[in-house]
Structure 1
Amino acid sequence: MTDAGGPDAPHVTVVSTGFTYPEGPCFDAAGVLYTVELAGGVVSRTIDGEREVWVRPGGSPNGAAFGADGTLYFCNNGGNWGPNASTGMIAGLGGQPALIQSVDPAGVVSTVADSCDGQPLNGPNDLVLDGFGGIWFTDPAWAPRDAAGSAPASASPPGAVRYVGADGVVTIVRDDLVFPNGIAITPEGDRLVVGETGTGDILVADLIAPGRVGDWSIYARLGEQSFPDGMCFDARGRLIVAGTGSGRLFVVGALGSVEREIPMDDRDLTNVCFGGPDFSTLFVTQAETGRVVSLAWDFPGSPLAVQPLR
């Protein structure tokens, strides 16, 4: 492990390198770090500080989370990613199946969902599991690309939040968002939080039942320069948001105000999660440099496994 960071950045440690557009960091029950790679079409894990490919599902694996039985669930957006240094400035142009997939502990890849109401999924981006065996996930649509292969999130067609029930049925939760991206459930298990990359807003709704939410409201406004991506909560109820394109982590208090912005030395911060022996280390995937870094946090993280709805 080596230190990394600019003059105004916090003290961070490089955990592992060599990823092609890393995303979806998460830990299994044994404390092993897993990472997906959008441009590599693989799920990797870090063993003794070294990147090791675990499975090769193809497409473009995205946000991921472990279930209680050790199954890894992940989005596969069908081959879409923006160009950056870790991809050789080559963009992923899509054209492959958009899926929710899983990998069992033996490494067998399965498809969980590929459509909703008879229509193919757009490009699943991130997910969170609930206490009823269901999966909430964001399903943005990509904008037309410019000459460099970039697709501005603010120009995206309407995207959706969807739910896969324990019975495998996929339903629409909301379908009018401008590139819905990161998604999380509050530590109390009673509210769903979604980042809208195209507007810089963080939205929230009460969880009523599996696949059902109440009215939506604005949880926080980060501004269009922030491009909110993956997110997680700490035990104090603060939401930590990866601001892709901005090179900053945003720390949002329980009342929705931005308490802190943490600069890092990679513009394309894609996702965050907590890990470590005391669960008080924050891990960040950095897409431009193709690495995972960590930094100490002042409060433990909120476990990704959530409680049943109240």
Structure 2
Amino acid sequence: MTSKQPISSEALVLMNGIAMGESPRWHQGRLWFADWGAQQIVAVDLAGTSEVMMDTHLDLPFSIDWLPDGRLLLVAGRASLILRKENDGTVVTHSDLRSVSDMGWNEIVVDRNGRAYVNGGPGIIAVVNADGSARQVADNIAFPNGMAITPDNKTLIIAESHGKRLTAFDIDVDGGLSHRRIWADLVDGVPDGICIDTDNAVWYADVPNKRCVRVREGGEVLQTVAVDRGCFACMLGGADGKTLFIVATEWRGMAQAAAVAAERTGLILTVRAPAAAAGRP
């Protein structure tokens, strides 16, 4: 379902009727996202025409990204697996993350070399090599959420939701993470999904504060888009990379997640952004 009515002073609705959206990615001219409540991967174009790309049959959380050769990776969070969709449509296990932790996994971002970074469990980040081997590369993350990699493939930025900050790591030659530092102290911000732009600024989605915020390194706020429900993730894309897609849902806590999903209050919102997409995802 599609509507163009304003949902805030800036954002327009591209798609509605989503059970619970997460993990948006601009890919091959459409916005792909994980609908946790419907257990589906969905793609929507700029006209609002949507298509179910995959029925996952997975409980939340699950997230997506692509290998450089175009094959889809899918984090099965509760199963602690990364699945891979082959070119012929078959789905196989890419990596068994239970060798690192069986406490569940959340977000994924793939670097330009095909290494996947995943987070979750007891506040950790793991790197998964192209052969599926995995190892822990960071810990003590205060509720890890969205991740992004800078265009030079040298820095990984992660949203620490409970830490109210964005944290950066250098990406080492072997895929390890080092030189941990606070990239931005968000004060009262609660970051979830994030993305990077060509001005080296980061957009972060914020559920409790019902907004998406653009910040530069150090924490200076450059722009805020306020909406009427929780913002779970955001992604830049579109023909020129300057459309900010916001995944938003009414939210009343995990105890009410099933009820919220049944109400299908999830939206994809669009806002014109001052700088284009950069880095990954």
Smaller-chain TM-score range? 0.7 to 0.9
- The aligned residue for residue 248 of structure 1 is 211
Instruction: List aligned pairs for 1:38-49, cutoff 5 A.
Output: 38-46=36-44, 48-49=47-48
Q: Distance in 2 between matches of 1:210 and 1:256?
A: 30
Q: Distance in 2 between matches of 1:120 and 1:255?
A: 32
Q: Distance in 2 between matches of 1:286 and 1:210?
A: 36
Q: What amino acid does structure 1 have at the position aligned with 2:74? A: F
Contact 1:134 1:210 in 2 (8 A): no
Number of equivalent positions: 263
- The aligned residue for residue 24 of structure 2 is 25
Name stretches of at least 5 consecutive residues in structure 1 with no aligned partner.
Answer: 79-96, 141-157, 306-310
3-state SS of the aligned residue for 1:4?
coil
Contact 2:148 2:279 in 1 (8 A): no
Task: Describe the shift of the 1:106–1:54 C-alpha distance in structure 2 as closer, same or farther (beyond 3 A).
Answer: farther
Equivalent of 1:109, from 91, 101, 107? Answer: 91
Q: Deviations over 1:178-207 (max 9, x none)?
A: 211111112232111111111212111111
Name stretches of at least 5 consecutive residues in structure 2 with no aligned partner.
Answer: 251-264
Equivalent of 1:37, from 35, 59, 66? Answer: 35
The answer to whether 1:192 aligns with 2:174 is no
The answer to whether 1:162 aligns with 2:126 is yes
Contact 2:33 2:43 in 1 (8 A): yes
TM superposition shift of 1:61: 4.8
Instruction: List aligned pairs for 1:42-191, cutoff 5 A.
Output: 42-46=40-44, 48-59=47-58, 60-78=60-78, 97-116=79-98, 118=99, 120-140=101-121, 158-191=122-155
TM superposition shift of 1:119: 5.0
Task: Describe the shift of the 1:186–1:303 C-alpha distance in structure 2 as closer, same or farther (beyond 3 A).
Answer: closer
Task: Describe the shift of the 1:108–1:15 C-alpha distance in structure 2 as closer, same or farther (beyond 3 A).
Answer: farther
Aligned CA RMSD, in angstroms, stands at: 2.0
Q: Distance in 1 between matches of 2:223 and 2:242?
A: 18
TM superposition shift of 1:219: 0.8
Q: What amino acid does structure 1 have at the position aligned with 2:227? A: M
TM superposition shift of 1:52: 2.7
Query: What TM-score, normalized to structure 1?
Result: 0.78
Q: Distance in 1 between matches of 2:57 and 2:94?
A: 15
Q: Deviations over 1:123-151 (max 9, x none)?
A: 221111112211011114xxxxxxxxxxx
Task: Describe the shift of the 1:299–1:119 C-alpha distance in structure 2 as closer, same or farther (beyond 3 A).
Answer: closer
Q: Distance in 2 between matches of 1:292 and 1:105?
A: 28
Contact 2:145 2:193 in 1 (8 A): yes
Contact 1:57 1:109 in 2 (8 A): no
- The aligned residue for residue 280 of structure 1 is 242
Q: What amino acid does structure 2 have at the position aligned with 1:300? A: A
Task: Describe the shift of the 1:287–1:160 C-alpha distance in structure 2 as closer, same or farther (beyond 3 A).
Answer: same
